[in-house]
Amino acid sequence: MKRFSTWFVAAVACVALTGAAIASAADDLTIGSKAPGIDIEHWVQNGEGKFAPVKEFESGKVYIIEFWATWCGPCRSAMPHISEIQDKYASRGVTVVSVSDEDLETVKGFLEEESGDKTFAEITRNYCLTTDPDGSVYEDYMKAANQQGIPTAFIVGKSGLVEWIGHPMEIDGPLEDVVSDKWDRVAYAAEMKEMSELQSKMPELMPLLQGGQMDEAIELLDKWIADAKSKKMVARLEDIKGRILMQTGDKRAVEPFKKMVEQVKDDAAGLNELAWFVYELTQRGVEVSPELLAAAVGAAEQGSKLEPSNGAVLDTLAHLYDLQGELDKAIATQKKAAENPGQFKDDIESFLKELEAKKGGK
């Protein structure tokens, strides 16, 4: 069953690269560069008429240019937060422009899909959600700034310069400082440079991961953490370390996992992705520690409290209860999931039959 969690397996490299790349030539896009104008083909959502299409950036206003795609799980998970950002800062001159490069039909079809009790059209209705199939905006921003993955957001400040580049879930603090005229662009540029240095180190780490040399990988990361100059770099490296530990199922992964849960504690979709990732580890033959499994159950239970009728979240919880040997709880939970299965109807009903057959065989 697809939960958009396959991104998590490759996330070690993504975590290192997102927000880490810095332009390599004087005419590339970096912190302090003049933000290019945008020529977007399809303005699909426009804040219910509140925003006109943007081509050039108006002095004194702040813009968030965010890149996303319908197939991108983290992009979907970030949408409620982006919506909250737009609501919070609309009166302070902030406009969010979210840009895909997919065809219009694909984006329109995606907006009809449901996440919990809302469609994605409802979730994104208050900001500018767009698509630019010719990829010109992607070229001018993502490629020009050497950014490797989505979602990635650019803050364009009041003077039309690029102030910040990073993951939209990390935008709150920088955005507040930019809007309040407290942003230290020079300090942030130094952070970006250190992140760029991390990117150059990744070829040393990746062969260890690919070869299953997890202890050696952790040892290397501990060395990098000790040498890190900024708190942000330490946090980034600790995040990578946690993700590596999680893929081993080791009980040492529990604390990093809980930190990730804390970051998405109010987001049922994000909690579901984390919990389902642990379940997927077991399906790949990883021996998950009881402690990590319990932490995954806790994440799924929190998700089900936030969205008690979300079939996908309940289905994840039922799978985890089953792994814990809590068959009765798994069946009861899966029956609730079957009441609102959404796009996972066949999978949810199939797993319910599997659980009931297991119960009957005892």
- Say if residues 331 and 344 touch (Cβ distance below 8 Å): no
Q: What is the pLDDT of residues 264-299, one digit of tens each?
A: 888 888 899 999 999 999 998 888 999 999 999 999
Highest CATH level, class, for 21-183: alpha beta
Q: What is the CATH code for 254-360?
A: 1.25.40.10
For the chain, residues classed under CATH 1.25.40.10 are 254-360
pLDDT of residue 335: 96
pTM to 2 decimal places: 0.60
Q: What is the pLDDT of residues 108-167, one digit of tens each?
A: 999 999 887 899 999 999 999 999 999 999 999 999 998 888 999 999 999 999 999 999
pLDDT of residue 21: 42
Give the chain's residues under pLDDT 70.
1-27, 362
pLDDT of residue 256: 86
pLDDT of residue 10: 46
For the chain, residues classed under CATH 3.40.30.10 are 21-183
pLDDT of residue 12: 52
